[in-house]
């Protein structure tokens, strides 16, 4: 995929930051607001598609390494399973951090959502782990599917194909 | 002939079982008893110290289900990578 014109590239450079920050916000606030690891991870992974369309495949593959995404995907799933096993003194997936004070251990008042970020125990940890896994997995699918298509191979690479010319 | 009789008997038995099952189905439109839902709504905030009960169910009470979802995603990524990998004779 060849890069688009300089107008598109500049606008996409600006908005990619907002997409990444918004996705990370959805992941971190997963235990307070609608959303969570799966949804926020999908939003962050859309950033890779955004940059692929605007900057072209050569530029994206120069800084988005499949090994990095594969690593964070595996790390996310391992953190998830490890958090489940750590509560094994009571049951599998026991919430051993909730309500104890310390990390994610604040006691929340019963009733409407009070918006305390440092609550929910292992639920927050699992949200972040699932978010990492979804970011890695969906970006990896995107990169490998782009590498697999042969449609753009025999074109002259590097030159921009804008819709303004 | 014998086959037809057996077939008829089988149909009658299955119809009887279905009729018996349908007569005990919960009446349409009436309120169902849901003790599990009531337990979640009453105790989730206190037990897990989280205000979002939906997240408490998805990631804590039914955490094993979420582990399965994550494993499904992992398997899907692995299969896509196996499908689009670079073959040795493709170059």
- The answer to whether residue A142 is domain-embedded is yes
Smallest Cα distance from A14 to chain B, Å: 29
Smallest Cα distance from A149 to chain B, Å: 9
Residue-wise pLDDT tens digits, A115-154: 778 877 888 888 889 999 999 999 988 888 887 776 555 5
Residue A106 half-sphere exposure, CB side, CA atoms within 13 Å? 12
> Angle between the A37-55 and A122-148 helix axes, to the nearest 10 degrees?
30
pLDDT at B9: 95
- The answer to whether residue A153 is domain-embedded is no
pLDDT at B12: 95
Averaged in consecutive runs of 10 residues, what is the pLDDT profile of chain B (91 residues)? 92 94 82 81 81 84 86 89 70 49
pLDDT at A67: 86
- Of the residues A98, A103, A112, the best mutation for testing chain B's interface (the one with the most B CB atoms within 10 Å of its CB) is A98
pLDDT at A54: 87
With beta carbons under 8 A apart, name residues in chain B contacting A87: none
Contact A137 B45 (CB under 8 A): no
Q: Out of A113, A119, A137, whose CB is closest to B77?
A: A137
Smallest Cα distance from A89 to chain B, Å: 15
Q: How far is CA A65 from CA A45, A48, A87, A143, in A?
A: 14, 11, 34, 9
pLDDT at B85: 74
pLDDT at B10: 95
Domain span at residue A124?
A: 6-148
Instruction: Please answer whether residues A60 and A52 qualify as being in contact, where contact means their C-beta atoms are separated by less than 8 angstroms.
Output: yes
With beta carbons under 8 A apart, name residues in chain A contacting B45: 108, 110-111
Domain chopping of chain B, boundaries = 2-83
- Distance between first and last Cα of chain B: 66
Give how many domains chain A has, as a whole number: 1
Averaged in consecutive runs of 10 residues, what is the pLDDT profile of chain A (165 residues)? 81 89 90 85 89 82 84 90 83 77 77 79 87 90 80 53 48
With beta carbons under 8 A apart, name residues in chain A contacting B84: 144-145, 147-148
């Amino acid at each position: 995929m060849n890069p688009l014109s300089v107008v598109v590239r500049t606008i996409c450079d600006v908005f990619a930051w907002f997409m990444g920050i918004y996705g990370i916000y959805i992941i971190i606030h997963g235990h307070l607001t609608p959303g969570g690891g799966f949804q926020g991870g999908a939003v962050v992974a859309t950033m890779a598609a955004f940059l692929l369309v605007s900057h072209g495949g050569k530029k994206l593959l120069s800084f988005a390494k499949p090994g990095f995404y594969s690593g964070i995907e595996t790390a996310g799933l391992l953190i998830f399973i490890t958090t489940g096993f750590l509560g094994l003194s009571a049951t599998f997936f026991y919430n051993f951090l909730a309500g104890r004070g310390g990390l994610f251990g604040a006691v929340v008042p019963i009733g409407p959502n009070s918006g305390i970020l440092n609550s929910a125990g292992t639920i927050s940890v699992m949200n972040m782990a699932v978010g990492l896994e979804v970011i890695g997995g969906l970006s990896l699918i995107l990169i490998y599917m782009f590498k697999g298509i042969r449609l753009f191979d025999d074109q002259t690479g590097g030159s921009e194909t804008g819709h303004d010319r | 002939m014998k086959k037809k009789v057996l077939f008829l008997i089988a149909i009658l038995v299955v119809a009887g079982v279905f009729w018996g099952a349908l007569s005990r189905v919960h009446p349409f439109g009436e309120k169902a008893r849901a003790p599990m839902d009531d337990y979640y709504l009453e105790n989730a905030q206190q037990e897990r110290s989280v205000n979002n009960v939906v997240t408490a169910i998805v990631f804590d009470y039914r955490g094993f289900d979420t582990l399965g979802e994550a494993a499904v995603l992992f398997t899907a990524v692995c299969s896509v990578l196996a499908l689009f990998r670079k073959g040795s004779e493709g170059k």
